[in-house]
Amino acid sequence: MRISVLAFPGYQALDVIGPLEVFAEANRQLGRAVYQMEVVSTVPGPLVGLLGVGIVPNRTIADPPIDVDTLLIAGGDKMQTHTITADEKGWILETARGARRYGSICTGTFIMAQTGLLAGKRVTTHWARASELAAKYPDMILDADAIFICDGPVCTSAGVTAGLDLALALVEEDCGRNVALDTARELVLYLKRSGGQSQFSAHLSAQMSSVPAIEAVQGFVADNLKADLSVEALAKRAGMSPRNFSRVFRKESGITPKEFVERARVDAARRLIADDMPLQRVASEAGFGTIANLRRAFSRKLLTTPSVYRDNFGSSDYVTPAT
């Protein structure tokens, strides 16, 4: 099975090397080469990426076509603004038509989308570029929180390290769970991460307003999570009626005040859990009051539980209390 990663100048190194390392490790676990890995470039090498480090591609899109099992397009610098040439589009379409599956890593979705191959498909990309992708290509079904998605032959992943998650899923599909699990263990990875990529996004950055009254309320929320953060209380602080406050807040941030408060509390709880604070204290400090409320919020927002989140991101020397 030939795995071809198409890379453009300014590529993100992990988008290229990360998935290929997973397939290479699967070969080692199997004791035979079921995968043949290659890097394809749009220009002759060495191909220089974001790190300033050049790699020599195995071939370029100008070379004669060969059979490919899986085509993945790597993300990188300014992929969301790069307009593909006729040659690039033609190569991607021809290769994808002959491949068993195809897709992208991180912002490589912007490149694949220009070919029309993602129309009507469920896809994901880096959380910070999701709204831009949705605006540019409304014919796709975007899930901005997914780590990776496989919809038929189309496979897309979220930002950077999510390419490793996608590659492991493809190894599991091809070679079975045991091989994928052994591969993950050797590379010190989770076979399947719990939750979505919202676990890793910056603190509510996309929802911050530029309107002074709303921005002041948002700052108050972040600094006073244990306070009364009802719509009525926040509207009074903004000097607005609750109805007008809710309308302006949603227009400015894209979410309701209640949603913003919960996201702020979940965001704070994540940091406290990662610092191994006891869950009851986390619930109190983050403004949830009870562990039950904390669990419900994590289930809604992160699709996981506080305990599982701690297992994944807390200190390795944490010992769960017996009570």
Q: How many residues does the chain have?
A: 323
Residues carrying CATH 1.10.10.60, the chain: 205-313
| pLDDT (0 to 100) of residue 294 | 96
* pLDDT band at residue 215 using 50, 70 and 90 as cut-offs: confident
- Range of weakest confidence among 150-164, 196-210, 274-288, 303-317: 196-210
Distance in angstroms (rounded) separating the CA atoms of residues 254 and 218: 13
> Per 3-state DSSP, what percentage of the chain is helix, strand, and coil (rounded to 5)?
50, 10, 40
* pLDDT band at residue 270 using 50, 70 and 90 as cut-offs: confident
Distance in angstroms (rounded) separating the CA atoms of residues 323 and 321: 5
| pLDDT (0 to 100) of residue 105 | 97
Cα dist. 235→78, 217, 247, 258, 265 in Å?
A: 40, 9, 11, 12, 19
pLDDT digits (tens, 9 = 90+) for 17-36: 999 999 999 999 999 999 99
Single-letter amino acid code for the residue at 305: T
Distance in angstroms (rounded) separating the CA atoms of residues 247 and 229: 17
* Mean pLDDT of the region 262-281: 88
pLDDT digits (tens, 9 = 90+) for 134-170: 999 999 999 888 889 999 999 999 988 999 999 999 9
Beta carbons of 302 and 199 less than 8 angstroms apart: yes
Q: Is the pLDDT of residue 279 over 80?
A: yes
Render the burial of 20-54: b for 16+ CB within 10 Å, e for the rest: bbbbbbbbebbeeeebebebbbbeeeebebeeeee
Distance in angstroms (rounded) separating the CA atoms of residues 309 and 190: 13
| SS3 of 108-133 | HHHHHHCCCCCCCCEECCCHHHHHHH
pLDDT digits (tens, 9 = 90+) for 62-111: 999 999 999 999 999 889 999 999 999 999 999 999 999 999 999 999 99
pLDDT digits (tens, 9 = 90+) for 187-213: 988 777 766 776 555 444 545 566 888
| pLDDT (0 to 100) of residue 201 | 52
pLDDT averaged over every residue in the chain? 89
Q: If you write DSSP's letter for every residue of 203-229 in order, what string do you get?
A: TTGGG--SSHHHHHHHHHHHH-TTS--
Cα dist. 80→57, 83, 166, 176, 233 in Å?
A: 22, 8, 21, 35, 41
| pLDDT (0 to 100) of residue 238 | 93
Question: Two tokens at 41?
Answer: 């470039």
- According to CATH, the topology of domain 205-313 is Arc Repressor Mutant, subunit A (1.10.10)
- According to CATH, the topology of domain 2-200 is Rossmann fold (3.40.50)
Cis bond leading into 212, ω under 30°?
no
Single-letter amino acid code for the residue at 19: P
Q: pTM for the complete prediction?
A: 0.69
Residues carrying CATH 3.40.50.880, the chain: 2-200
